[in-house]
Structure formats: C-alpha cells, structure tokens
Amino acid sequence: MTATPSPASPCGRCGTQATAVTEGALPAAVGSHADAHAVWDQLDAVQRDGLASILRTVLPARELAEEILALADRHGAGSR
C-alpha cells in the first residue's frame, strides 16, 4: 500500500514547501506561510534572532506558552 502524497505548494521566496493533509486545507497553509513572511520582513536581524529563540523555547512547551500569554494579557505586552 503506497501513501497518498499531501497537497503541496512551494514558496517562491524561500522555497519552503507548504503542505496540507487535504487539498482544501492547502490555502490556509500557504496563507499562514505568507503571514510568517510578512512578520519576518518587519523585523531586523536582532529581533529575528530573539523571536526564533523564543519560539524554539515555547513551541515545544504548550503550558509555558499559555502562561507567558496569560502574563502578557494581565500585565500588558509593553509593561514590565
């Protein structure tokens, strides 16, 4: 039995292959990737390094991410 390939679309800017489980889900995957480019393009090199470091820390730890967002909501994102 062979696996059915997932629908895919390559990014013209970076070559990343956006994939989805179904063809209907592909537009959302491609849209999310385009949104990521839009955010990335607004950051300078230091901000990009910081964001990447934060994401590497919190993405594998869902509870940590939820607690950080809760702190941001309670204290305001710009306050300390």
pLDDT tens for residues 32-67?
989 999 999 999 999 999 999 999 999 999 999 999
Q: pLDDT band for 26, please (50, 70, 90 cuts).
A: confident
Q: Helix 62-75 to helix 45-58 angle, to the nearest 10 degrees?
A: 120
Query: Which two tokens mark 51?
Result: 């964001």
Total-model pTM: 0.65
At residue 4, what is the residue type? T
